Amino acid sequence: MAAETRDPLALESQVCFALSVASRSVVNAYRPVLEPLNLTHPQYLVMLALWQHTQLSLKQLAELLGLEPATVSPLAKRLEALGYLHRERDTGDERTLSISLTAAGRALRARAETIPATMAKRLGLNEGELRDLHDAMLRVISAAQRASPSARSV
C-alpha cells in the first residue's frame, strides 16, 4: 500500500490554525466561569498579575501580559470602575501609572481560587496534562519569539 501524501497547506494540518481555534475555544470555556466574578478573560489575566504582584506600573503589567500598554489601559480602567483596582500617577514620576488592588480586588482572589480546577475539569485535562500543555505552549512562544525578534516577550 502506497504511503498517503499529505497536503502541506491543508488547513487542518496547520499549527497556527489549531492554536487559533484552541485559544478561542479555551477563552470561550472561561466565559461562564468568570461571569459570576464580573470579569472577562483579559480582565482575569490582569487580576492574576495583580494577585501575584499586588502593585505594578502600567508598563510592567503590559510586559507581564505580553501586551501593549494601550491595550492594557482600558482593561485597567474597566477594572477600576468595577472597584477591583486603583490607578494613580506615581508621585515620583508623573509619567508612571501605578496600578494596585483595592480591598474588593484582594477579596475577589478567594472566589477565583477555584477557577484553575474548574477549568481543568471543563477541559477534561488532569494536572499532568495541563502542565505538559503549558510547557509545550511556553516552548512554542519562545520559538516564535526567536523567529520574530519584534515579538513581545511573555
Is the confidence at residue 105, as pLDDT, over 60? Answer: yes
Q: Could you count the other beta carbons within 10 Å of the beta carbon of residue 100?
A: 15
CA-CA distance, 46 to 32, in Å (whole number)? 18
69-80 pLDDT, tens digit per residue, is 999 999 999 999
pLDDT given at position 154:
56
Task: Tell me the whole-structure pTM to 2 decimals.
Answer: 0.88
Q: How far is CA 83 from the centre of its chain?
A: 20
Domain boundaries, the chain: 25-112, 114-147
CATH class of the domain defined by 25-112:
mainly alpha
pLDDT band of 95, cuts 50, 70, 90: confident
Which grid cell is 83?
Answer: 472597584
| Most confident stretch, 18-32, 79-93, 137-151 | 18-32
Name the DSSP letter for residue 37. Answer: G
- Mean pLDDT of all residues in 47-73: 95
Partners of residue 89 on adjacent β-strands = 97
pLDDT given at position 81:
97
Q: How far is CA 151 from the centre of its chain?
A: 16
Q: Give 96 or 3, the one with higher predicted confidence.
A: 96
